């Protein structure tokens, strides 16, 4: 595999990202900022959101690593009293290494081509150890970019075996998250459980409208005036996971189904790349069936 480095990553100071979800109450921001300052941390970015309907508070804090006197081992111990005080669910992403992303594809090339370009150019700051497909069609495209391609067909009655092989590959490559770049198979419940909240899909519709297959045909039949694309986390329910990013384009009565498909492909590329970037930069918190995206 060819490793790519991002110039942006080289020039940006190393940071850790603290993500918090808890019941909303006064004093949370002051307590978090005070804690970080007390341990010589410099906050380079902070964002928060209060949901009055759920009485919930969400926060993302990016802390410069240099000078911060808490290590990854020590931080949970020292942080725990404050977390318990505010009933926080939290995680700290230290950024010691780029996330390792695996991509699953079938036959359509537009989304994987875009991801490969963004990875190769350094725009997408991940390691990309492999692409897995249930068809051989995209092998040359992928390997030409210096990424390993693994063809694992789904034979009749052999879906469980194929998924088991995929998971073994991901485990061997220490994959952190998975992107479905128009992978045209429904993942089993056990597969989803193995990467809970870490599988990102692109759907060729503005969900929740036109879920399932042939979304552009459904949209055409309804005479829609906009088409959309939706990137979401995969759950056990098809096309029903928490939505990360969406986009739309205007269409009209002059557009054929083929026009909708052509225009939609461009939209799918951008929406999927946006969602992947937000995940890589730890900008997403899940709240029930929704996401909080700090961008």
State how far the Cα of 120 lies from the Cα of 10, in Å rounded to an integer.
15
State how far the Cα of 57 lies from the Cα of 19, in Å rounded to an integer.
11
As a CATH number, domain 99-293 is 3.40.50.170
Contact 247, 202 (CB under 8 A): no
**DSSP state for residue 205 in the 8-state scheme:** S
User: What residues contact 38, with CB distance under 8 A and at least 6 apart?
Assistant: none
As given in the structure block, the two tokens for residue 12 are: 């940006």
Backbone angles phi, psi at 190, to 5 degrees: -70, -35
Q: Write down the catalytic residue from 239, 240, 282, 295.
A: 239
State how far the Cα of 214 lies from the Cα of 261, in Å rounded to an integer.
10
Instruction: Please give the model's pTM, rounded to 2 decimal places.
Output: 0.90
Q: What's the full length of the chain, in residues?
A: 295
pLDDT at 157 (0 to 100): 72
pLDDT at 226 (0 to 100): 83
Taking CA atoms, 154 is separated from 37, 179, 255, 256, in Å, by: 54, 18, 35, 32
User: What residues contact 258, with CB distance under 8 A and at least 6 apart?
Assistant: none
As given in the structure block, the two tokens for residue 103 are: 């991509």
User: CATH for 7-93, among 3.30.70.1710, 2.30.30.60, 3.30.70.260, 3.40.50.1460?
Assistant: 3.30.70.260
Which strand (E) or helix (H) includes residue 126? Answer: strand 126-133
State how far the Cα of 193 lies from the Cα of 191, in Å rounded to an integer.
5
Contact 139, 150 (CB under 8 A): no
Helix, strand, or coil here: 63? strand
Contact 24, 51 (CB under 8 A): yes
pLDDT at 261 (0 to 100): 85
Measure the CA angle with vertex 223, ends 220 and 229; round to 5°. 60
Map tokens 């789904």 to a residue: 154
Residues of the chain with pLDDT below 70 are 1-11, 208, 210, 212
Map tokens 């992928």 to a residue: 142
pLDDT at 11 (0 to 100): 64
pLDDT at 210 (0 to 100): 67
Q: Which among 295, 281, 279, 277 has a CA at the least distance from the CA of 119?
A: 277
Taking CA atoms, 199 is separated from 22, 101, 233, 236, 287, in Å, by: 24, 10, 6, 11, 16
Respond yes or no: is residue 114 known to be catalytic: no
Contact 162, 196 (CB under 8 A): no
Chain centre to alpha carbon of residue 222:
31
For the chain, give every domain's residue range.
7-93, 99-293
Backbone angles phi, psi at 161, to 5 degrees: -65, -40
């Amino acid at each position: 595999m060819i490793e790519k480095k991002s110039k942006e990553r080289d020039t940006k100071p190393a940071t850790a990202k603290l993500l918090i979800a808890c019941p909303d109450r006064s004093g949370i921001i002051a307590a978090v900022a005070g804690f970080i300052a007390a341990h010589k941390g410099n906050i380079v970015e902070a964002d928060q959101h209060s949901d009055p309907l759920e009485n919930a508070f969400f926060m993302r804090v990016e802390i410069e690593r240099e000078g911060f006197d808490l290590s990854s081992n020590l931080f949970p111990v020292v942080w725990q009293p404050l977390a318990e005080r505010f009933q926080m669910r939290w995680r700290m992403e230290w950024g010691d290494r780029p996330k390792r992303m695996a991509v699953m594809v079938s036959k359509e090339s537009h989304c994987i081509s875009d991801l490969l370009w963004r990875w190769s150019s350094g725009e997408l700051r991940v390691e990309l150890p492999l692409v897995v497909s249930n068809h051989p069609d995209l092998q040359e495209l992928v390997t030409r970019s210096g990424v390993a391609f693994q063809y694992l067909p789904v034979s009749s009655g052999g879906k469980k075996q194929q998924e088991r092989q995929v998971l073994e590959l991901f485990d061997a490559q220490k994959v952190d998250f998975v992107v479905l770049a128009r992978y045209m198979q429904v993942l089993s419940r056990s597969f989803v459980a193995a990467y809970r909240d870490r599988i990102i899909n692109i759907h060729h519709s503005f969900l929740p409208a036109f879920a399932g297959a042939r979304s552009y045909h459904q949209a055409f039949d309804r005479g829609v005036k906009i088409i959309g694309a939706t990137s979401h986390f995969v759950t056990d329910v098809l096309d029903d996971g928490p939505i990360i990013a969406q986009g739309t384009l205007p269409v009209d009565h002059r557009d054929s189904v083929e026009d909708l498909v052509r225009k939609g492909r461009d939209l799918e590329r951008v929406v999927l790349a946006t969602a992947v970037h937000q995940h890589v930069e730890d900008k997403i918190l899940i709240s029930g069936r929704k996401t909080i995206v700090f961008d």
